[in-house]
Chains A and B, each alone.
Chain A
Amino acid sequence: MRPTARPSSARAPASLREPRLQPMKHSATNKRKLKESSAESAENISQVQKILRERFCHHCAAGKLFGMEQQYRHLLEVLKRTTVHGESNSALIIGPRGSGKTALLNHVLKDLREMKQVRENLLEVHLNGLLQTNDKVALKEITRQLQLENVVGDKVFGSFAENLAFLLEALRKGDRTSSCPILFVLDEFDLFVHHKNQTLLYNLFDISQSAQTPVTVIGLTCRQDILELLEKRVKSRFSHRQIYLMNSFDFKQYIKIFKKQLSLPDEFPDESFAQKWNNNVQHLSEDKTVQNVLQNLFHHTKDLRSLHLLLMLAGSAVTVHHPLLTAADLQEASRQHSTDSKANIVHGLSVLEICLIIAMKHLNEVYDGEPFNFQMVYNEFQKFIQRKAHSMYNFEKPVVMKAFEHLLQLELVKPLERPSVRAQREYLLMKLLLDSSQIMEALQVYPNCPTDVKQWAASSLSWL
């Protein structure tokens, strides 16, 4: 007696439909009950996944800000004064990657737009150093975003010089009390510094320091040495208002952030599930292994983005079967998060390739990191085959060459200079991109590694 498809089951993913088949073995009444609860939980799980995904993948302004109240207030004040009083300003938001510079700005702008005195009273121009690679492109973008191009009657803009003169003229016309303030947001500010003569920056800062249209220039950058990059005239015109974001929280706060990021909001439809989930999160945060995992990550980086990544990996383990996160999930995620990518490649190599790598390792030890060529590696390998190997088959040179080229393609070895046409491949100088400790570790977990190879790897002198 199979039930017909219900609307809820239609929505659940295919994988989630399987568990419904299992309770079939039980009695009919029990079956119905279980089925309903599972459908319900499937709904909940997909909701949870949606919420977490939105939280961790889109770094949207809806997310909360942690440990930057002071900076938030500072920036909000600056922008408010620009819009309300028409005061020109310039500021830089400086902080390492993932410290929440853009999040802070978006947050401030969102709150600003909701204020009554500000609404419709601020023009925004967003530029990005990666997109506006020179001043010409940047000027065009500014004109477009300020919607000034229709003034020229659909005329495609002329030269760069005309464009600059046009924009400067437009900005010069305005004054503090009558013109609409303009906010310039320069993302990846450090890239604008490399534009010729820093013309754009000079002009923007110059306007912000003169009685023209009120303008606020906000730059976002991760470089601490940004002020040294500004040309002296540009630097003088910059107001030296710097807002630093440092991720300056300790581990306790980090745990709190972890809890906040993982717990479900109050407006979650199924309250009992939300309760259960949040209780679990609370338990997790007190669990020793979870704390260890988090501590480890915290020691590596305080950047919240890597926490998001870890939680994302852990969160993807949540299914109907396994509706709540466990410490093991987090541990597994942490393991994935911190694996060595190059060592992972080594696991997939053939025995011959492993042997070549070991030969290179020995060469590195003997010659103290000097570059080697294929011929040297081959000789080393030959020595091993002749004197030590019992299980190894003696490969011909072209085969070894092929294996060597495979290593080259995997970028485990790197030529010192670009291979020229004339140079013989055997004698190209190479360097190994693996550390000996990485090789030894990889060998430990390498499946079915011949013992003699392992022994050879352990001691370079063992064949003597």
Chain B
Amino acid sequence: MNTRQQSKLIYSWYGKPLNSDRKLRNSQYKGILITSESTKTEACIQLGDFILVEGVNADQPYVAQLMDLYEDGAQHKHAVVQWFCRLEEIPQHKRKLLKREISAQEVFFDQVLGYDTDIAAETIIKSVVVLPLHLGEELPIITLNKEQTFYVRQSWDGKCFKVLSPDTFSKLKEANKKRGVITNSSKVFIPSDILTPVKRETGSVVRSATKSKNPDIEIESKHSTSKSSLAKERHSQRVANNDIKTPTARKKLELNSPTRSKGRLLGCEVLDLLDDDCDSIAPLEPSATKRKVKFTSEILGSPPKIPCSNDKSKSTLETAEERQRFSETMQFSPYTKVKDFSEKDKNLCEKDDILSLVGYQKPSSQIPVLTPRSRRTCAQKTSALIAEQISMLDQEDFQSGSGSSYCSSSEEEEDDDMPCTPEKKPKSSRIFSTPKSSRKSAVHTPAKTLKKTPLQGTPRTPRTPRNATPEIPRRIQAAQEPASVLEEARLRLHVSAVPESLPCREEEFQDIYNFVESKLIDGTGGCMYISGVPGTGKTATVHEVIRCLQQAVENEELPPFQFVEINGMKLTDPHQAYVQILEFLTGQKVTANHAAVLLAKLFSTPGPKRKTTVLIVDELDLLWTRKQNVMYNLFDWPTQKHSKLIILAIANTMDLPERIMMSRVASRLGLTRMSFQPYTYKQLQQIVSSRLKGVKAFEEDAVQLVSRKVAALSGDARRCLDICRRATEICELAQQKRTSEIVRMAHVTEAIDEMFSSPYVNAIRNASLHEQIFLKAILAEFRRGGVEEATVQQIYHHYVALCRVEGLQSPTVSEIMAICSRLGACRLLLVEASNKYLHMRVRLNLSQDDVMYALREE
């Protein structure tokens, strides 16, 4: 396949600049030509046309109306659009507001503020049709170009759905009409399904000649019928960052695409089209000849490529063929059978069943008239051939590395979107028509597709539960609400209770808020590193900031943003970070490596309609890998021009960037840093008292004691709250008889002792007599040897001596070993593996002084 060259789309202005603004050095145009270099095809899109725009998700290109086209001073081509949004773009919880079923082709007139309506002209894919409809109106029955036609009934302004205002409705109508008028006036409006069979025939003649060169290859036909295959190809092209590999032929798709017949209006072109379609040999225009020649030469020169050039037409072609077949079945098989099928279909995909039913019944009346029998056999052959070619292309796609997995995943989704009926039908009907397909490949096709059907059916069922949200069963008895003051206090003191405001972190809050806000307003990206020991309110403050920002967005003071949070501790592997971020952003589930590629693409290309993303990376240090590529990528994205990514990285150590990061990672992280100091006792006191506002449960001094104690130890607010909570419990236990007591010093002291007292001393005091003697023997041996380590044998000798002094029966070695292992299990001692028996070395796990202190008391 080295004949392939890099396929490129050239965007050029159509016509002369309408009016140019000297000052701004802008010049406006009325249309844009999209030329595919390799195929020399052109598509013209004019102002007011509806277009598809490349989006984040390749399956779902954005729908928009072209409002303005201009070139700025830097020679960049820009387009101003009016967005339409698909159902998928509307948040899940808002979709319920709609209260009706939505077909996949329905879009909403987008009135959400904050989307950038100025896009780069290069992101335009092609033009489509958007039909305005009244709310109650049925979907018009459109059989051709189903994928290219959208309907709009309502508008969406980010909060609720509204019926289209008469003004916009008429405007949309007009836009459609204008296009209709133009096409009519130029008299080239030929419905593509009438057009294609003829066209196909010409192609197939040539192809059948080349056919022998392509022995039977696995066929994957469903791929071709994808509604947005074009967008996807563009996408996958970008994803596989070497464009060289992507087949040139793919761009030829536009040859037969409706855009061309509608948009391009020059006389010669029209004639050319007519030429092609009518299969006339004598061209009228030189340019047409040229193209014609080129086309055929290509066919002859590189046979494997040809069918690809008809990729798009193929879809229509195949459906036409299917219909045709179906009509056959209609004739042969009893009516009941057909009904049976459609019934099945209904179960499979409810939302499309109206459309698909329509699709079946219509052609039965149309196609047989249009296509004579001779053509049909031809069509079969070609379709089989095309399928082969497609499968070949697919295989190559799989080989082309990073892009491959995407293809497969998108393909899967495709299955969901597509009404499966048109595919299924012909398969069953093909049984009747097999005698006709004498060629090897033709026989091959049904066999393959038949095998496919059960496969398609089965994965569909488990997919739905996969998205089902797991839930912990609900409790049977209602949770009791706090009854007493102490219970109320305990509820408020729980770490999980979120206070209305975070006291003592106002400054930090303001700093972070200002940082994010400024970046949001500027629409740029940036990183901030936040450090502090555990329990100093880092995560809480950041969440508070996000909450406030979201509030501001709701009040329309700030542009909207997306909020993503990942936590190093909640990932099983640093690379899973990519997966989680991508899932948050687009809802796709892919492998880690692929997610990294997709994210890199997402953040490095200017995406229209993309909001700023605020990403919180908690426990950053756990994202450390040996090559540090996860950290590198995370901090590299915000520096990209179009990323619109704000990262708030949180970790414990202040010098993390210097300590564990390579210099290139640390440099990208930048110097915007903030460290949360441990709370002072006053702050801790304030935190506790702010939570206890209005509840008189604690003595002032008691709170102060706790705060001072905790501040001296760690400054961890969690500890402070836990101690207070425990103190209320102790108080409650003590008050049994008397009524309503508040927490006093004694309770707090007890709670503190409980939490901070060293367990060792207590453990030694409660050990048995021989265990204590053993510890004494250890001390004696340590003193004798001067080393803090001894073998059991050495200790044993001291032990026996000590027992004699105490007048106790000296124990056997087995008993000594038991004592030793018991103390070892408690970790009062550190012992070696016990298979060394007497030569096992023993060390103390606490200082000798502690042991002496614990033993002397008695």
Contacts and interface: CB of A to CB of B under 8 A. Distances in A.
Interface string B806-822: 00110111110011001
B755 A180 contact: no
Given A233-B569, A236-B534, A96 B475 contact: no
Nearest to A337: B815
B822 A203 contact: no
Interface stretch (A103-111, A239-247, A265-273, A325-333): A239-247
Given A123-B473, A169-B469, A435-B796, 11 more contacts: A77-B733, A85-B487, A148-B470, A176-B496, A178-B479, A233-B619, A240-B722, A242-B759, A244-B759, A300-B811, A433-B838
B826 A338 contact: no
A210 B617 CA distance: 18
11 contacts: A85-B479, A88-B496, A161-B573, A173-B469, A176-B479, A209-B495, A223-B826, A236-B716, A247-B766, A298-B768, A338-B815
A160 interface: yes
Interface string B543-583: 00000000000000000000000000111110010011000
B475 A178 contact: yes
Interface string B701-726: 00000000000001010110011011
Number of chain A interface residues as a range: 35 or more
A167 B477 CA distance: 24
Contact of B825 (A96, A171, A414): A96
A302 B763 CA distance: 12
Q: Which of A202, A435, A437 has the most CB of B within 10 A?
A: A435
Of listed B719, B729, B769, residue having the most chain A CB within 10 A: B769
Given A165-B580, A177-B478, A300-B770, A438 B487 contact: no
A52 B545 CA distance: 65
Interface in A401-436: 411, 414, 431, 433-435
B815 A121 contact: no
B424 to A, nearest CB: 24
Contacts of A320: none
A301 B652 CA distance: 44
B470 A169 contact: yes
Given A170-B471, A182-B472, A232-B652, A223 B811 contact: no
A73 interface: yes
A385 B495 CA distance: 79
Contact of A173 (B465, B470, B760, B766): B470
Interface residues of B, number: 83
Nearest to A88: B496
A340 B814 contact: yes
Contacts of A209: 495-496, 718
Interface string A166-206: 11111101101111111000000000000001010011001
A73 B533 CA distance: 34
B469 A339 contact: no
Contacts of A176: 479, 496
A414 B198 CA distance: 94
Interface stretch (A14-22, A55-63, A150-158, A278-286): A150-158
Given A155-B462, A161-B579, A338-B815, A174 B472 contact: yes
A455 interface: no
A42 B579 CA distance: 71
Contacts of B480: 84-85, 117
Contacts of B498: 211
B463 to A, nearest CB: 9
B817 to A, nearest CB: 9
B770 A203 contact: no
B60 interface: no
Contacts of B580: 165
Contact of B770 (A96, A161, A299): A299
A408 B148 CA distance: 86
A340 B819 CA distance: 13
Contact of A246 (B490, B754, B762): B762
B850 to A, nearest CB: 12
A233 B470 contact: no
Interface in B809-853: 809, 811-815, 818-819, 822, 825-828, 836-839, 845
Contact of A431 (B570, B808, B812, B839): B839
Contacts of A239: 722, 725
B497 interface: yes
B659 interface: no
B213 interface: no
Nearest to B569: A202
Contacts of B838: 433-435
B768 A301 contact: yes
Interface in B725-754: 725-726, 729, 733, 754
A242 B827 contact: no
B718 A236 contact: yes
Contacts of A206: 569
B824 to A, nearest CB: 10
A220 interface: no
Nearest to A233: B534
Contacts of A241: 722, 726, 755
A231 B191 CA distance: 70
A135 B572 CA distance: 9
A435 B828 CA distance: 25
B266 interface: no
Pick from B468, B476, B572, B809 the residue with the most CB of A within 10 Å: B572
Given A180-B473, A298-B768, A339-B812, A87 B490 contact: yes
A242 B475 contact: no
B801 to A, nearest CB: 12
Contacts of A431: 839
B401 interface: no
A232 B533 CA distance: 9
B302 to A, nearest CB: 43
B755 A151 contact: no
Interface string B475-519: 111111010000100110011111000000000000000000000
B462 A153 contact: yes
Interface in A337-389: 338-343, 369
Contacts of A121: 475-477
Nearest to B726: A241
A166 B652 CA distance: 27
B622 interface: yes
A237 interface: yes
Contacts of A438: 813
B652 A97 contact: no
A179 to B, nearest CB: 5
Given A87-B490, A209-B496, A236-B719, A299 B769 contact: yes
A210 B570 CA distance: 14
B766 A296 contact: no
Contacts of A120: 476
Contacts of A253: none
A94 B809 contact: no
Given A123-B473, A146-B472, A240-B719, A199 B760 contact: no
Given A223-B827, A224-B763, A435-B838, A180 B474 contact: yes
B251 to A, nearest CB: 38
Contact of B768 (A181, A197, A300): A300
Given A211-B497, A236-B535, A301-B822, A197 B622 contact: yes
A439 B772 CA distance: 26
A246 B763 contact: yes
Given A222-B826, A242-B754, A246-B766, A164 B572 contact: yes
Given A340-B812, A433-B838, A161 B572 contact: yes
Nearest to A223: B827
A316 B570 CA distance: 54
B626 interface: no
Given A202-B569, A248-B766, A173 B496 contact: no
B472 A123 contact: yes
A86 interface: yes
A317 B622 CA distance: 61
Contacts of A343: 812-813
